[in-house]
Amino acid sequence: MKKLLIAAGILVVLVVGALVALPMFVPVERIKDELVAQVRNATGRDLSIQGKVSVSAFPSLSVQVSNVALSSPAGFSSKDLVRLGALDVRLKLLPVLSGRVEVDSFVLIDPTITLEVDRNGKANWVFDAPDGKNAAPKPAAKQGEPAAGASPAAIPEISLGDVRIANGRLIYIDGPAKTREEVEAIDLAVGLKSLSDPLTAKGALKWRSKAVELALTVAKPRALIEGGTTAADISIGSDAVKLAYKGDVTGGKAAGIKGVLDLSVPSIRTLAQWATGKPLEMAGSGLGPFSLKGDLAAGGTRVGLTRADIVLDAIKAKGDFTVDTGGVRPALKGRLDVETLDLNPYLPPEQPAKAGAAAPSPSSGGGGGGKAAKSDWSDDPIDASGLKAADVDFNLSVAALKVRKIVVGKSALHLLLKDGRLAADLTELALYKGAGKGRIALDGSQPGIGLDAGFALKGLQAEPFLTDAADFSRLDGTATFDVQVAGKGRTQRQLIQDLDGKGAVSFLNGSIKGINLAAMVRNVTSAFTGASKEAEKTDFAELGGTFTITNGIVSNQDLAMKSPLLRVEGKGTVELPPRTVHYRIDPKAVASLEGQGGKSDATGIGVPVIVEGPWDNLSYRPDLEALVKGQATKAIEGVLGGKGTGGLLPGGGKSPLPINPGGLFGR
């Protein structure tokens, strides 16, 4: 027994001595030359090892190399694809002898990876065969055989000791875009006792002068490698953005994640400036704090975020979103419920009206004089390709909406976009005590675009709405609108010229402020040349009419206003293609106090008003010539009827205007 122990001791001493002496007999330079040649043969790249190479077999299998570089192809601005200050790899000896891999040390010191795309779009990380052609693909595996390169069924046990990257750099050069990005100060440490124990990774880096911290934990790496599911915790944080995920991760063919996503951004503007390198060019003061938290599920071509809580500035919302990229085009389905959507912080400040830009006064009598304004409709082809970018089925609801001074109540919108056809259904709208519904359909499946829209609104309080919307406070009453319009065209001008439709507008129990039509009838001069007083107004019981649209021409023939002692009728056209207006208003004073429901054919003195000209320079003027001719005609009819001058006015009254027959008919 004693001799056996002595023999065993001698054997151990000999083995240890052999392992210690082995590196002395290893031809390091020959191995280095062979390694360089093999890399050159396999990749066509040059591997340079300018530093010292050390090999050791005891107490661990180890290789230490310094100053190593792998070159980029010729023609790139970056000389090296990869450069290492030093590489230290050590494997525990005894586990290797028993078939296990335990990494005692794997340290990359000062590694620099430079990824570059040249001006022709070629990338330096794409390896070609030495002859300059892409390496031939590996033959497909025969049926029943594992694919080439597939992982073996049995996964060996792995243990990691000191595995880390120290002071790394990652550089990306985009030749076509002429940009360069650099991530520096990359430090990463990885820990793994075994594949059945948690894998941890923790590190930091610096990008555009901001520090970013990274952390990862995978509960059971073996389950993930074998295609199973395990818990995972991932976080990325900086002072500009914080992103965290906590949940399950699945590997293999059914790879995916399912857990809770938590995103927090102190300022979107600050994040955008950090990410792009320049300030965000968007008006307004909004886009500050943003947060998003919800259940994230991703697998295959489908990504879903459900039970999401979203906060942007003072806006709070909840929603569900699903995106599937497995079809002909991406498909988005979801909903978003917003509490109060205040858009004012995201709008540019209102510009004050420029001096002299106001519309001409009614007394000017000038303006366009009926001349057509130059159309600014575009003749460029309408690009409706955006309607074919995705399929969308989305519901949006808001408890309140604020745009400038306009306040919209509870509203709901359903968007359906499929195969280039968009249908937007406004299923609910609360607007200044009114309620409405509408629909807009756009067809971009063919060249150009088709439009089919309809909108109905009842009970709108006109004055507060017009005041908030356009700072116009001269019309009061309860309004009802019903509009239908359709058209198609390949350009904006063609679309306008093709518009057809119809509609009706009415106002009840209101007033027109700033002008007294009854006074206008009584005294034409003061109505149009005397300065209008804010106190002047014309009350009415009804005001409205219907219209038709044919080839872009809006025609109204039945405008009527019913008011005590006054009736107003109007008719004319609004020509959309040339942007002009030709309209005539005929007010009449009547001896009646009937309001709503009064006769619309009441007789009396009429003072026609002509509204005409281009949209941007309308003119308003009394049609005195028509007025005088009308009174002269009545006078003649009265004489021929044997009534004398009493035929000039009902009841034998006298005209308030001087009538000069010679001036009417010439001399």
The total domain count for the chain is 2
Segment 518-566, tens digit of pLDDT: 666 555 444 444 444 556 778 888 999 999 999 999 999 999 988 877 7
Of residues 446 and 358, more confidence is placed in: 446
The mean per-residue pLDDT over the stretch 283-290 comes to 92
Q: Does some domain include residue 644?
A: yes
The 10 Å Cβ neighbour count of residue 255 is 13
pLDDT band at 638 (very low <50, low <70, confident <90, very high): low
Return the closest-CA partner of residue 44 out of 68, 73, 69, 67.
73
Residue 645 belongs to some domain of the structure: yes
- Under a CB-based contact definition with an 8 Å cutoff, are residues 470 and 403 in contact? no
Structure tokens at 368: 């366009």
Residue 495, domain member (yes or no): no
In a domain, 439, yes or no: no
Question: Mean per-residue pLDDT for 650-654?
Answer: 41
**Residues above pLDDT 90, as percent of the chain:** 50
Report CA-CA distances (Å) from 167 to 163, 176, 203, 339, 437: 14, 29, 11, 48, 62
Residue 429 located in a structural domain: no
Percent of the chain whose predicted confidence (pLDDT) is above 70: 73
Please determine, for residue 460, whether its predicted confidence score (pLDDT) is greater than 90. Answer: yes
Where would I find the H helices in 78-131? Answer: 93-97
Count of C-beta atoms within a 10 Å radius of residue 590 = 22
Establish if 76 belongs to a structural domain: yes
| 297 located within any domain | no
Least confident of 227-241, 307-321, 347-361, 418-432: 347-361
Convert the pLDDT of each residue in 306-351 to its tens digit.
Answer: 999 999 999 999 999 999 999 999 999 999 999 999 999 998 887 6
Residue 98 lies in a domain: yes
- Total residues found in the chain within this entry: 667
pTM: 0.73
Nearest-5° Cα angle at 388, 383 to 391: 145
* Model pLDDT for residues 258-279, shown as the tens digit of each residue: 999 999 999 999 999 999 888 8
Q: Which tens digits make up the pLDDT trace of 160-188?
A: 888 899 999 999 999 998 899 999 999 99
Average pLDDT, the chain: 80
Is the separation of the CB atoms in 478 and 508 below 8 Å?
yes
The residue range of the domain holding 642 is 628-667
C-alpha to C-alpha distance for 59 and 95, rounded to whole angstroms: 12
